[in-house]
Amino acid sequence: MRSVVPWRNISEHYGPWSSICDRYRRWCREGRCTVMLVALRTELDALD
């Protein structure tokens, strides 16, 4: 998965943009992003 999120534009409320970017990349590398997307898709399908 690839993201075009402008990391530097993320609210400081969430912490340093570099930490958020690193965490996102780690989650994707570990497969967590896929797991989250599948879970969201499953929940959306259940609403139909």
Distance of CA 5 to the CA centre of its chain: 10
Is residue 39 within 8 A of residue 6, CB to CB? The reply is no
In tens, the pLDDT along 6-17 reads 888 889 999 999
**Structure confidence at residue 14 (pLDDT):** 92
In tens, the pLDDT along 8-48 reads 888 999 999 999 999 999 999 999 999 999 999 999 999 97
Is residue 36 within 8 A of residue 42, CB to CB? The reply is no
| DSSP codes, 5-24 | --GGGS-GGG--HHHHHHHH
